[in-house]
């Protein structure tokens, strides 16, 4: 069974940090791109960061540059999203998804996790 599971979300004060994890089971992440997306209440789902199979990071959202970083550990079959200097506007459900390349990961991509809630208080 192919499965992606996000974890690490929670409640944090503005300026704090969280580290999200996206763990895969049933297949290997080695040859896939993995993207982090987020959806705030009443808003469209937006891309945040993506990492390619060759460990190249792509920023989808300018608002997280200098604050968020993506990484992958193929040995653990896991991708991470390090979130620093969090702001209330970062509050959203965060999802991970996979596809062949970062540019083609969209909401139509086949495999998504269930999401993890990140809430940033003022």
Half-sphere exposure (Cβ direction) of 94: Cα atoms closer than 13 Å: 30
Compute the distance between CA of residue 98 and CA of residue 4 in angstroms, rounded to an integer: 9
Residue in the block written with tokens 């992958």: 72
Q: Give the per-residue pLDDT at 2.
A: 84
**Contact criterion met (CB below 8 Å) for 48 and 37:** yes
**Contact criterion met (CB below 8 Å) for 116 and 9:** yes
**Contact criterion met (CB below 8 Å) for 111 and 54:** no
State pLDDT tens for residues 66-82: 999 999 999 999 999 99
Compute the distance between CA of residue 88 and CA of residue 105 in angstroms, rounded to an integer: 26
State pLDDT tens for residues 15-55: 999 999 999 999 999 999 999 999 999 999 999 999 999 99
């Amino acid at each position: 069974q192919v499965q992606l599971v996000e974890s690490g979300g929670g409640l944090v004060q503005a300026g704090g940090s969280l580290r999200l994890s996206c763990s895969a089971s049933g297949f290997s992440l080695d040859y896939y791109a993995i993207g982090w997306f987020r959806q705030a209440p009443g808003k469209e789902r937006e891309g945040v960061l993506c990492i390619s199979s060759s460990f190249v990071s792509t920023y989808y959202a300018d608002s997280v540059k200098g604050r968020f970083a993506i990484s992958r550990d193929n040995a653990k079959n896991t991708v991470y999203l390090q979130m620093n200097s969090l702001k209330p506007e970062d509050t959203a459900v965060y999802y991970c998804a996979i596809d062949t390349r970062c540019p083609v990961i969209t909401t139509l991509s086949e495999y998504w996790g269930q999401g993890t809630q990140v809430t940033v208080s003022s």
